[in-house]
Structure formats: structure tokens, C-alpha cells
């Protein structure tokens, strides 16, 4: 009973209630499904030449396209949903009151984070019927389907935690939203740009040292494996990262791990770090870890 | 109940509090008076565990606010000068949310909330959305919210600001009820006569310094060491003013129409003697009275020159 009480989060329940009471929520759901549905059905129409025939190889591409498009939608919506969760409370002048209640900083941050993500997860899981239509044509394994949805969850968790951290650090929602988009965009593009810079640098070094063998460093591919688009392609065995263990000098732990798990581990860790920082920074006064003693003055 | 020791708070080069020290006893209604920017809200934010002081200590119920914020939060109910509400919640849901934040079981909340709504005269608005409430009603709802966990100390930062006279009177009545319930209340305001009616003790703060502290009657008495006499004459005003200036107990003399206003540094017997002297000298005195200084005068008198 006590455990249940500890797990109960009033902030989370309140956010659910507030979010679903506005007109905004059904409009977002409608818009999201309309965009993805139209795109998928149009793609099916063109790929099957108006429904006359289909090739399993092409439906696999359709599945990939739908998955990457949905990933883009997550990257587009999650910063917007999370970047205002704390700064919005601050602007609404409700944060100071919340901070004087018994609710801990951890429960406050987790409540806000989970409430935003649960709405996004609701959107993603509402698209399952679309995947079911595409899945009907074949070309994709059930494991790949599960991995794709697992990938979405991990991506949402990390993008959401970045949004919450930025919302905690920046007072204005507008600025927090812009910075969140910039950071998410930076991660999406920056990891691969950095990977290619490192690869070219190694090549240049090899040329200078007159080494004829191809560059054999795991770092560019490791960076590619944490790029959301390439990591998603990797689930379908496409893209630049496929088998890190092919590196001859790849003795490290990472070389023997499926790049999908690399992605999950890296962003899982980043999620925890972002949330811990948000919890730390939201506390106006951080109590010392010692036993309370009355009359100590 | 509350002890503040040499409390200092700086924002960059600006010093908001310059070594504030005071004690507030349990069950006291303490009025915190001062102009805008004097340091009232800063002090209240520190007591509410929302702000860490630069130096010094503040204790609530024996707990130091920076090292034991959790314990302090259980003891206090805080209402900031400006606060927002969740517009898409009803009044009852709003209180229920905060009750849940204080880990009050749902069954207990169901009992407490109608009582609180009744206390702040909002029972009829129980199912109304917060958005639809007037400013005064929102203020009262905020007060009910700060009472949801039955705190021993209430910290109310300018609770009457922006309210119309009727809403102010209603709020004052509620605060009187809370005083009768034995709560320790810290209330800040620049509407001084209101504080005089409600508070047992007042503290006047100016530019981060506590310039006066004590019971309201004590502060009145202290101020009355310098009395102001208003004398109306039907003639010979200039002569009477010259005569008054010659008297050692008179500190200043000015004219306001047919009235002479004189600063008087003496006791009641000397006041009687002064009146006798004027009438014996033949000045046509039509009225003779002592100006009653209200809290506004006290405030202006106490804070004059501070920071200049």
C-alpha cells in the first residue's frame, strides 16, 4: 500500500487531466493521424500501381519510409511537448507554489516528463493500424516491428528528457522550445557530421603517414550508430552501420554489441543524466542529507 | 515559531536584505510593512524555502530553512504576491490536486475540501472552473490552497493587492478567523491601516533593514513622543505663531488656512499649560486638538531619511 502511494504521482494525473481537457489534444491526434495516414495510403497506392500488384521488397521500403517519417514526427513534436513543462509552470506562476508542497523535485520532474511522453506514446501507438496495413504486405519481420517501436520509445524518452532539462534551465517557454529543437536537430545531424569529420581526419592522417590499408577505427561508426536516422535504418539492415565487429582491432565491448542496443544504452544513459540534472536544478533550496533536528538554532 | 538571524540576500551588487534579525512568536499575526523593493517578498521567499539566503539563518518551527526545507514545507502554507492557477480545473479539483501533493489520502481530502471552501466562502463555486472565478475569489481559493495541509504558519505575501474593497473586507474576515484558530500568520502589505487592525506585531522594512519592530500599540506610543497640535484661531494668527515659536516645547510651527499646526514635544500637563497660556494671552482660540497619526503617518515617519 505504501509502495503504491509512493508511486502515485499527482503531477502526472493532473497533467493528463489538463492535457486531455483542452481542444488542442484531439486536434493534434487528428492532424498526426491524418498526415501519417495520407502519406502511407498514398505510398501504398503508388507502390502497388493502384492496387493491381505489389513487390515484397517495395513494401519493405514503404515500411522503412513510414518508420523514418514517424521518427521525424517524434523529433518534431516531442521538443514542443516537453520544452514548456517547467518553464510554462514558471510563466503561469504555479511553480513556486508547487515547490513549497511536499512533492519532491524527482516526482515533479518525472510527472511532467511522463505526462508529455505518454501523450506522444498515445499518438505513436494510435498509428499501429497503419503499420498493420503495411505489415500485411510482408517484407518485414515481427522482430523488426518490435525493434521499431522500442526505438521510438527510447527516442521519445531522450528527446523528452532533453526538453525537460532545457525547460528547467531556461525561464521562457519560447526560448526553451527553440533551444530544444536546436539541440535535437544538433544530435540528429551533429553525430553523423562528427562521424564523417573523424573518418576524414583518420584518412588524412593515414595518407600523411603513407598507410595504405583502409581506415580501421570504430569511432565514426559508433557515432553513426547513435544517429537516430542511421540507427533506425540499421534495424532494417541498411545504412552505414551494420556490423561493428568487422573491425579487426575492435576489441572493445561496443564492437560486439548490436548497434540497436548501442543506441538504447547511449540514449538511456543520456536520459538519466538529463533527468538528474533537471531534478537538481529545479530545487530552489537543496536540503542537506542529515537528520532533522528541532531547536538546532 | 520563526527566528531570523542576520539574514542577507544579494542579487549581484544589489543587496535586498542587509542583516535582518527578528523573532515571531507562535500564534502571532505579524504584519510586514515596507515599500516596494524593501525586501518583504525576499524574506518571505526565504522562509518559504524558495530562495537561499546569501548569509544568515532563518528557522521555522526550529528547522533551518536551507538545511531542512522538507520539514519547513510541512509547517508552512505559502501564498505568493502573484500566483497562477490551473484554469482547466474546478475549484474542488484544484484543492484536491494540492492536497494530493501534500500526500493527504483521498478520503481525507474529500472531508477537508468542503470545509476549506466553506471557510473561504466558495462552497457555491465548488464545481466552477477556476478560470471563471473573479480575482478576489481566486485569491480566496489560493488561501484555501495554502491551508489544505493545515499548516501552523501562514506566509501571505500581499494577499490584498489588486482586490476591490469588498474582496479586501472578505479576506480580512477570513484572516481574523485564522487568527482565532491560533495560526501564526505573516502578512505583508502596504495597505497599512488594514495591518493595524489585524496584526499583533508589525515590522517595518526599508531597503533591506528592519527599521521598526514591535507591537502596534508600542509603535504608536513611540511615535506619540512627537505630537502634532492643530489650533484654529479666529484672528491674530501671525502673533500666535510668533508666540508659539518662543515656547521651548514647540518644535515646529506652520500655517494651514485658519489653522496653526505645531510640533509638540511635551506631556499632557504641558499641553494643558500651553492652551491656558494662549487663552490667557488673549488669542482667540476656537479649536485646539491633537492630530491622531495613523499607521501611514507612522510608516512615513519611520522610513523618512532611510537610504537617503
DSSP string, A27-46: HHHHHHHHHHHHHHHHHHHH
Residue B260 included in any domain: yes
CB distance from A102 to chain B under 8 Å?
yes
Work out the minimum CA distance from B230 to partner chain A, whole angstroms: 49
Q: Residue B220: what pLDDT?
A: 67
A284/B52 touch (CB, cutoff 8 Å), yes or no: yes
Give yes or no for a contact between B30 and B199, defined as CB atoms under 8 angstroms apart: yes
**B115/B209 same-domain check:** yes
A101, A285, A293 member nearest B101 (Cβ): A101
CA distance A119 to chain B (A): 18
- State the DSSP H helix or E strand holding residue A136, giving kind and residue range, or none if neither: helix A128-136
Gap between the Cα atoms of A209 and A204, Å rounded: 9
Give the pLDDT confidence score for residue A297 in this predicted structure. 40
Among B165, B189, B215, give the residue marking a domain's end.
B215
Nearest to A100 among B64, B76, B93 (CB): B76
Same domain as B211, residue B228: no
List chain B residues with pLDDT less than 50: 305-308
Question: What chain A residue is nearest to B5 in terms of C-alpha separation?
Answer: A297
Q: Whole-angstrom Cα distance, residue A257 to residue B291?
A: 89
Q: Which domain holds residue B270?
A: 224-303
Higher model confidence: residue A29 or residue A297? A29
Question: Within this chain, do residues B60 and B141 fall inside the same structural domain, yes or no?
Answer: yes
Q: Are residue B186 and residue B235 in the same domain, yes or no?
A: no
Residue A59 burial by Cβ neighbours in a 10 Å radius (0-12, 13-18, 19+)? buried
Q: Does A100 touch chain B (CB under 8 A)?
A: yes
Residue A181: all three cell numbers together: 529543437
Does B67 sit within 8 Å of A101, measured CB to CB? Answer: no
User: Which residue does chain A place closest to B151, by CA atoms?
Assistant: A101
Read off the pLDDT band of A227 (50, 70, 90): confident
Poorest-pLDDT segment among A19-33, A35-49, A246-260, B255-269: A246-260
More confident residue, B40 or A48: B40
Q: What is the pLDDT of residue A2?
A: 59
C-alpha cell at B165: 474593497
User: Which of A18, A96, A286 lies at the smallest CB-CB distance from B88?
Assistant: A18
Q: DSSP assignment, residue A253?
A: G
Q: How far is B24 from chain A (nearest CA, A)?
A: 15
Task: Give the span between the Cα atoms of A199 and A191, in whole angstroms.
Answer: 12
Last residue of a domain, which of B194, B215, B236? B215
pLDDT at residue number A6: 63
- CB-CB contact of A231 with A75 (8 Å): no
CATH of the domain at B71: 3.40.50.300
Indicate whether B206 belongs to any domain.
yes
**pLDDT attached to residue B308:** 37
B84 falls within a domain: yes
Check whether residue B47 and residue B153 sit in a common domain: yes
For residue B78, which residues of chain A lie inside 8 Å, CB to CB?
96-97, 100
Do B167 and B196 have their domain in common? Answer: yes
CA angle B207, B209, B213 (to 5 degrees): 125
User: How close A24 comes to chain B (CA, Å)?
Assistant: 13
Q: Is A210 helix (H, G, I), strand (E, B) or coil?
A: coil
Rounded distance, CA B204 to CA B299, Å?
7
Residues B165 and B34 in one domain: yes
Which residues of chain A neighbour B85 with C-beta distances below 8 Å?
94
d(CA A133, CA A36): 12
Contacts of B59 in chain A (CB under 8 A): 296-297
B178 and B61 together in one domain: yes
Closest CA to B250 of B266, B231, B273, B239: B266
For B147, nearest residue in chain A (alpha carbons): A101
| Structure-block grid coordinates of residue B80 | 505568493
Å from A157 to nearest chain B CA? 25
Residues B265 and B171 in one domain: no
Same domain? For B55 and B90 the reply is: yes
* A292 in B contact zone (CB under 8 Å): yes
- Taking an 8 Å Cβ-Cβ cutoff, which residues of chain B contact chain A? 3, 5, 45, 48-52, 57, 59, 61-71, 73-74, 76, 78, 80, 82-86, 88-89, 93, 97-98, 100-103, 145, 149
Confidence of residue A294 (pLDDT cuts 50, 70, 90): very low
Say what the pLDDT of residue B296 is: 62
Query: Cβ of A93 and B61 within 8 Å?
Result: no
From CA A218, how far away is CA A15, in angstroms rounded?
Answer: 43
Report if residue B162 sits inside a domain. Answer: yes
Nearest to B65 among A94, A97, A285 (CB): A285
- Find out whether B187 and B31 touch, Cβ atoms under 8 Å: yes
Report if residue B295 sits inside a domain.
Answer: yes
- Residues A230-254 pLDDT 10s: 888 888 877 665 555 555 455 555 5
Minimum distance, in Å, between the CA of residue A93 and any CA atom of chain B: 5
Flag if A287 and B63 touch (Cβ within 8 Å). Answer: no
Residues 78-97 of A with CB under 8 A from B: 92-94, 96-97
Across the A:B interface, residue pairs with CB atoms under 8 Å apart total: 100
Domain membership of residue B107 (yes or no) is yes
Q: 3-state SS of chain B?
A: CEEEEEEEEEECCEEEEEEEEEEECCCCEEEEECCCCCCHHHHHHHHCCCCCCCEEEEEECCEECCCCHHHHHHHEEEECCCCCCCCCCEHHHHHHHHHHHCCCCHHHHHHHHHHHHHHCCCHHHCCCEHHHCCHHHHHHHHHHHHCCCCCCEEEEECCCCCCCHHHHHHHHHHHHHHHHCCCEEEEEECCHHHHHHHCCEEEEEECCEEEEEEEHHHHHHHHCCCEEEEEEECCCHHHHHHHHHCCCCEEEEEEECCEEEEEECCCHHHHHHHHHHHHHCCCCEEEEEECCCCHHHHHHHHHCCCCC
Instruction: Kindly tell me if the per-residue pLDDT of A293 is higher than 50.
Output: no
- pLDDT tens across A161-173, in order? 999 999 999 989 9
Q: Which of A102, A106, A289, A294 is the best residue to mutate to test the B interface, defined by the most B CB atoms within 10 Å of its own CB?
A: A102
Interface touch A92/B84, C-beta < 8 Å: yes
- Shared-domain flag, residues B164 and B251: no
pLDDT class of A295 with cuts at 50, 70, 90: very low
Q: Do B109 and B134 share a structural domain?
A: yes
Looking at the complex, does the CB of residue A138 fall below 8 Å from at least one CB of chain B?
no
Residues in B touching A105 (Cβ below 8 Å): none
Residue B280 sits in a domain of what CATH number? 3.30.70.100
Confidence (pLDDT) at A204: 81
Nearest to B263 by CA among B293, B228, B290: B228
pLDDT at residue A28 greater than cutoff 90: no
User: Which residues, listed in sequence order, are joined to residue B79 by a DSSP beta bridge?
Assistant: B156
Q: Which domain-ending residue is among B166, B182, B215?
A: B215
CB contact under 8 A, A94 and B86: yes
The span from the CA of A144 to the CA of A66, in Å, is 13
What pLDDT shows up at residue A8?
79
**Residue B236: inside a domain, yes or no?**
yes
Q: Is the dihedral of CA B178, B184, B190, B194 positive or negative?
A: positive
The count of structural domains within chain B is: 2
- Alpha-carbon span B31 to B20, nearest angstrom: 15
Residues A72-95 have a mean pLDDT of 90
- Residue B105 maps to a domain: yes
Q: Is A275 a residue whose pLDDT tops 90? A: yes
Alpha carbon distance A132, A127 (integer Å): 9
Q: Which of A21, A288, A297 sits opposite B88 (nearest CB)?
A: A21
Query: B49 and A292: CB-CB below 8 Å?
Result: no
- The conformation of residue A51, written as its DSSP 8-state character, comes to T
Secondary element (H or E) of residue A175: helix A173-208
Per CB-CB distance under 8 Å, the chain A contacts of B88 are: 17-18, 21-22
Of A89-93, A271-275, B18-22, B222-226, the one with minimum mean pLDDT is: B222-226
Q: Which residue among B52, B76, B93 sits closest to A285, beta carbon to beta carbon? A: B52
Distance CA A276, CA A282 (A): 10
Amino acid at each position: 500500500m505504501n509502495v503504491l502511494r509512493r508511486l502515485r504521482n499527482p503531477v502526472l494525473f493532473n497533467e493528463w487531466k489538463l492535457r486531455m481537457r483542452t481542444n488542442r489534444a484531439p486536434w493534434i491526434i487528428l492532424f498526426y493521424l491524418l498526415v501519417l495516414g495520407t502519406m502511407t495510403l498514398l505510398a501504398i497506392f503508388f507502390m502497388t500501381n493502384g492496387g493491381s500488384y505489389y513487390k515484397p521488397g517495395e513494401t519493405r521500403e514503404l515500411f522503412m519510409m513510414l518508420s523514418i517519417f514517424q521518427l521525424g514526427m517524434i523529433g518534431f513534436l516531442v521538443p514542443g511537448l516537453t520544452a514548456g513543462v517547467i518553464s510554462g509552470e514558471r510563466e503561469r506562476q504555479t511553480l513556486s507554489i508547487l515547490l513549497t508542497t511536499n512533492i519532491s523535485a524527482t516526482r515533479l520532474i518525472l510527472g511532467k516528463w511522463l505526462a508529455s511522453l505518454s501523450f506522444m506514446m498515445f499518438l505513436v501507438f494510435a498509428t499501429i493500424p497503419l503499420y498493420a496495413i503495411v505489415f500485411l504486405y510482408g517484407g518485414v519481420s515481427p522482430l523488426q516491428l518490435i525493434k521499431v517501436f522500442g526505438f521510438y520509445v527510447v527516442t521519445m524518452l531522450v528527446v523528452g528528457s532533453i526538453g525537460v532539462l532545457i525547460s528547467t534551465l531556461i525561464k521562457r517557454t519560447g526560448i526553451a522550445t527553440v533551444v530544444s529543437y536546436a539541440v535535437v536537430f544538433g544530435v540528429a545531424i551533429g553525430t553523423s557530421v562528427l562521424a564523417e569529420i573523424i573518418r576524414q581526419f583518420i584518412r588524412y592522417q593515414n595518407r600523411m603517414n603513407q598507410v595504405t590499408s583502409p581506415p580501421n577505427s570504430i569511432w565514426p561508426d559508433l557515432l553513426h550508430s547513435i544517429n537516430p536516422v542511421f540507427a533506425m535504418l540499421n534495424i532494417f539492415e541498411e545504412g552505414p552501420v551494420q556490423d561493428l565487429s568487422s573491425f579487426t582491432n575492435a576489441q572493445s565491448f561496443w564492437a560486439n554489441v548490436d548497434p540497436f542496443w548501442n543506441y538504447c544504452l547511449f540514449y538511456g544513459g543520456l536520459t538519466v543524466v538529463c533527468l538528474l540534472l533537471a531534478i537538481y536544478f529545479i530545487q530552489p533550496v537543496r536540503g542537506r542529507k542529515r537528520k532533522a533536528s528541532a531547536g538546532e538554532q | 515559531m520563526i527566528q531570523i538571524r542576520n539574514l542577507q540576500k544579494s542579487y549581484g551588487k544589489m543587496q535586498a536584505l542587509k542583516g535582518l534579525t527578528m523573532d515571531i512568536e507562535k500564534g502571532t499575526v505579524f504584519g510586514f510593512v515596507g515599500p516596494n523593493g524593501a525586501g518583504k517578498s525576499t524574506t518571505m521567499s526565504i522562509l518559504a524555502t524558495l530562495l537561499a539566503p546569501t548569509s544568515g539563518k532563518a528557522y521555522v518551527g526550529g528547522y533551518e530553512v536551507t538545511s531542512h526545507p522538507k520539514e519547513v514545507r510541512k509547517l508552512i502554507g505559502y501564498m505568493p504576491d502573484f500566483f497562477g492557477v490551473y484554469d482547466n480545473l474546478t475549484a474542488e479539483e484544484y484543492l484536491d490536486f494540492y492536497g494530493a501533493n501534500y500526500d493527504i489520502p483521498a478520503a481525507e481530502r474529500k472531508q477537508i475540501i468542503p470545509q476549506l471552501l466553506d471557510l473561504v466562502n466558495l462552497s457555491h463555486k465548488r464545481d466552477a472552473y477556476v478560470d471563471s472565478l473573479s480575482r478576489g475569489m481566486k485569491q480566496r481559493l489560493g488561501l484555501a490552497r495554502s491551508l489544505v495541509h493545515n499548516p501552523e504558519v501562514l506566509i501571505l505575501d500581499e494577499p490584498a493587492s489588486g482586490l476591490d474593497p469588498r474582496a479586501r473586507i472578505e479576506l480580512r474576515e477570513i484572516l481574523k478567523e485564522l487568527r482565532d484558530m491560533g495560526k501564526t500568520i505573516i502578512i505583508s502589505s502596504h495597505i497599512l491601516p488594514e495591518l493595524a487592525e489585524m496584526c499583533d506585531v508589525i515590522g517595518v522594512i526599508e531597503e533591506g533593514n528592519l527599521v521598526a519592530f514591535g507591537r502596534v500599540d508600542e509603535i504608536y506610543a513611540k511615535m506619540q513622543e512627537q505630537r502634532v497640535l492643530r489650533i484654529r484661531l479666529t484672528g491674530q494668527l501671525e502673533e500666535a505663531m510668533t508666540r508659539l515659536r518662543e515656547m521651548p516645547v514647540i518644535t515646529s510651527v506652520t500655517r494651514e488656512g485658519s489653522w496653526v499646526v505645531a510640533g509638540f514635544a511635551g506631556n499632557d500637563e504641558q499641553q494643558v499649560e500651553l492652551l491656558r497660556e494662549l487663552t490667557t494671552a488673549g488669542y482667540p482660540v476656537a479649536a485646539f486638538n491633537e492630530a491622531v497619526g495613523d499607521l501611514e503617518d507612522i510608516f512615513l515617519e519611520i522610513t523618512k531619511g532611510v537610504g537617503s
